[in-house]
Chain A
Amino acid sequence: MTLDAATPTLPRTGTVRLAAESVSLAYDDRVVVRDLDLQLTDGSFTAIVGPNGCGKSTLLRALGRLLRPVSGQVLLDGRAIARTPTREVARVLGLLPQTPVAPEGLTVGDLVARGRHPHQSWLRQWSRDDEAAVAEALTWTDMADLANRPVDELSGGQRQRAWISMALAQGTDLLLLDEPTTYLDLSHQIDVLELVARLHAERGRTVVVVLHDLNLAARYAQRLVAMDDGALVTSGTPEEVLTERLLADVFDLEARIVPDPVTGTPMVVPVRRLR
């Protein structure tokens, strides 16, 4: 209810929400991403995949306004994100960096409450809307019982749930997640991705997630974006992207692609590393 009150609940499919236009990204003089174009439509669930160091996390940072492109631009709802005030961006676009760390002793409830910051100001402090949004985010992510526990005392999977709960309380249409399953065992990886998938399906969130695990990416995302060496190699449905040829070219991996016995999505069975 309150979480989405300000935004239309039905996804306007087809509208481009977030776009990179010939974006080049660099740290100091080292160019990491070169001349990349990408469009993310409303209500889509996209996974960015690629080998280590291909620039996928860097691209995500640029999409989230954490990194300013050296050339090209990122557009959020058709408007240059670099020229949009931080707080305005934060009401539309939420992001979770890889393995975020909470201060010692911070409770889950307080963490989730901090997600309401973009909706507050000196004139408009903690409100009933915030209260309700936080309570709902906690309940929805099944964290209400843990609300008083310090985040640093939780298990890895619960901790990630707490952060996602914060992002949910932020109430943004778009959600960017950088490897949300890092350091989690398989069942917690599934748990976190199920939660993200529910955010997409039940909450109409537009989700972009950087993922290492190709099988999980193929299973949960509607669209895969494959990157290699700072460039976009291909994008499309998991069936279109995950081919034996692509795995050889991008990941230097000889592999078989078989249908996932559970979901029918492509599943990678590695054979050996090439070269």
Chain B
Amino acid sequence: MSSSTDAALRRQGPGGLGVPDRLSPQRGGLLQRRRSRLLGLLLLLVLVVGAATLSIAVGSRSIGLGAVWQALTAPGVPTEETVIIRELRVPRTALGLMVGLSLGIAGALAQGHTRNPLGDPGLLGVTAGASLGVVLAIHLLGVGTPGGYVWFAFAGALLGTVLVFSLGSAGRGGATPVTLALAGAALSALFYALVRAVLVSDTDSLDAFRFWVVGALAGRGADVAWQVVPFIAAGLVLALVNAPALDLLGLGEDVARGLGQRVWLARLVGLAAVTLLCGAATAACGPIAFVGLVVPHVVRAFTGPAHRWLIPCSGLLGAALLLVADVIGRVVVRPGELQVGIVLALIGAPFFIALIRRRRLATT
């Protein structure tokens, strides 16, 4: 197994080395699926690179491509333009990449664990917990910068998932898709009620909170990006480790157990990954909906239900989608900006409806 792609290919079933020739029709079909997966992966990589390029090159202030290139490559004396590129657009693009990647992967994990096509990290209490954390930080401690919110949002997200997981696994059968979704819905409702209670009584908090809650990449410096890097990296590793277990859980918990999978362990790893990824993304940028919901559905159309493909591809598409939405937000209301959370909802909602109408929605 020379490379990980190679190994992944071999793991996907019959049709690789050592298969008798009588199975050749089947091998042909598998090759076709492999080709579509590889092609999809390649396309996604191109998309991400393209989106990142756009995100660095396009902004409310027009800077020529030559100047952009120079700012990135030639050290030289800092001009106003090179400062914009280096200290605003590059960190913003890096943050967008990480957050989009996290949200896409967290969505794929959430849908896999809840076996619910409408599964979304928000369904597991992460977003509501983060919102509560930020509101309390503003209201009680007077924290006022995105860099300051991060830790509180993260703590809230952690609290949310821990509560959802312990409530969801309290019953007889342990954490099942249904109990997790129910516990998540109930706790989210409770957390949002608390958030509103604070906001109603405190207009200063409301002012600060409303900029966080729309979800934006703007105004977050390189410090915020660096703060979330370790969490996203850890979440990414856990997500990839969780992929084979998710494939088994997709066959139902009884079958998964019968095949030797410790179900509680798989749930724990998965939820930890969702908390790290979605918690870090939400902490950095505020709640951003639709990426986690839509992206896995689109990706599943060419990867099929195998999570070792679905998870990385969802990450790539999430990153590309978030960056493109952010670029659109910078362009449409020049010289002002539309927050990425709003842009995503505006393009995401019709897209999702179209997806449902074309019945391309594959359930997990």
A140 at the B interface (CB under 8 A): no
**Inter-chain contacts of B244 with A (CB < 8 A):** 117
B237 at the A interface (CB under 8 A): no
Contact A97 B13 (CB under 8 A): no
B197 at the A interface (CB under 8 A): no
Contact B262 A103 (CB under 8 A): no
User: Which residues from 125 to 154 on chain A have a C-beta closer than 8 Å to any C-beta of chain B?
Assistant: 125-126, 128, 131-132, 134-135, 138-139, 144-145, 147-148
B15 at the A interface (CB under 8 A): yes
**Inter-chain contacts of B33 with A (CB < 8 A):** 107, 148
A10 at the B interface (CB under 8 A): no
A27 to B173, CA, bound (A): 9
**Inter-chain contacts of A138 with B (CB < 8 A):** 14, 23, 26
Contact B172 A113 (CB under 8 A): no
A170 at the B interface (CB under 8 A): yes
Task: Return A2 CB to nearest CB of chain B, in Å.
Answer: 10
A95 to B257, CA, bound (A): 9
Q: Is the interface of B mostly helix, strand, loop or mixed?
A: loop
User: With A113-B14, A117-B261, A138-B14 as given contacts, are A105 and B19 in contact (CB-CB < 8 Å)?
Assistant: no
B144 at the A interface (CB under 8 A): no
Task: Return B8 CB to nearest CB of chain A, in Å.
Answer: 9
**Inter-chain contacts of B1 with A (CB < 8 A):** 125
**Inter-chain contacts of B18 with A (CB < 8 A):** 128, 131-132
Kindly identify which residue among B10, B260, B305 contacts A106, using a CB–CB cutoff of 8 Å. Answer: B305
A25 at the B interface (CB under 8 A): no
A28 at the B interface (CB under 8 A): yes
**Inter-chain contacts of B15 with A (CB < 8 A):** 109, 147
Residue of B with least CB distance to A101 = B252
Task: Return A70 CB to nearest CB of chain B, in Å.
Answer: 12
**Inter-chain contacts of A125 with B (CB < 8 A):** 1, 7, 10-11
A147 to B22, CA, bound (A): 13
A43 at the B interface (CB under 8 A): no
A65 to B247, CA, bound (A): 21
A64 to B254, CA, bound (A): 9
**Inter-chain contacts of A90 with B (CB < 8 A):** 258-260
Task: Return B14 CB to nearest CB of chain A, in Å.
Answer: 5
Contact B252 A105 (CB under 8 A): no
**Inter-chain contacts of A225 with B (CB < 8 A):** none
A118 at the B interface (CB under 8 A): yes
Contact A105 B305 (CB under 8 A): yes
A128 to B10, CA, bound (A): 10
**Inter-chain contacts of A219 with B (CB < 8 A):** none
A66 at the B interface (CB under 8 A): yes
Contact A109 B13 (CB under 8 A): yes
A110 at the B interface (CB under 8 A): yes
A59 at the B interface (CB under 8 A): no
A94 at the B interface (CB under 8 A): yes
B92 at the A interface (CB under 8 A): no
**Inter-chain contacts of A112 with B (CB < 8 A):** 13-14
Contact B20 A100 (CB under 8 A): no
A88 to B262, CA, bound (A): 12
Kindly identify which residue among A61, A101, A104, A134 contacts B305, using a CB–CB cutoff of 8 Å. Answer: A104
A86 at the B interface (CB under 8 A): yes
User: Which residues from 167 to 185 on chain B have a C-beta closer than 8 Å to any C-beta of chain A?
Assistant: 172
Kindly identify which residue among A86, A111, A132 contacts B257, using a CB–CB cutoff of 8 Å. Answer: A86
A203 at the B interface (CB under 8 A): no
**Inter-chain contacts of A64 with B (CB < 8 A):** 258
B25 at the A interface (CB under 8 A): yes
**Inter-chain contacts of A148 with B (CB < 8 A):** 26, 29-30, 33
B364 at the A interface (CB under 8 A): yes
Contact A170 B12 (CB under 8 A): no
User: With A86-B261, A110-B12 as given contacts, are A100 and B251 in contact (CB-CB < 8 Å)?
Assistant: yes
User: With A87-B260, A91-B260, A131-B14 as given contacts, are A117 and B254 in contact (CB-CB < 8 Å)?
Assistant: no
A212 to B305, CA, bound (A): 34
Kindly identify which residue among B30, B255, B300 contacts A100, using a CB–CB cutoff of 8 Å. Answer: B255
B110 at the A interface (CB under 8 A): no
A114 at the B interface (CB under 8 A): yes
B304 at the A interface (CB under 8 A): yes
Q: List 22 A-B contacts (CB under 8 A).
A: A66-B258, A91-B260, A93-B258, A96-B258, A100-B251, A105-B305, A106-B305, A112-B14, A113-B13, A114-B247, A117-B259, A125-B7, A126-B11, A126-B12, A128-B18, A131-B16, A134-B13, A134-B14, A144-B23, A145-B25, A147-B23, A147-B29
Measured CB to CB, the residues of A under 8 A from B are: 27-28, 61, 64-66, 86-91, 93-97, 100-107, 109-115, 117-118, 125-126, 128, 131-132, 134-135, 138-139, 144-145, 147-148, 170
Top 10 A-B pairs, shortest CB-CB distance: A90-B260, A148-B29, A87-B260, A113-B13, A126-B11, A118-B260, A147-B26, A103-B305, A97-B254, A95-B258
Given contacts A88-B260, A117-B259, 16 further A-B contacts (CB under 8 A): A97-B254, A104-B363, A105-B362, A106-B305, A109-B14, A110-B13, A112-B13, A114-B251, A117-B248, A126-B10, A126-B16, A135-B23, A144-B23, A147-B23, A147-B30, A170-B259
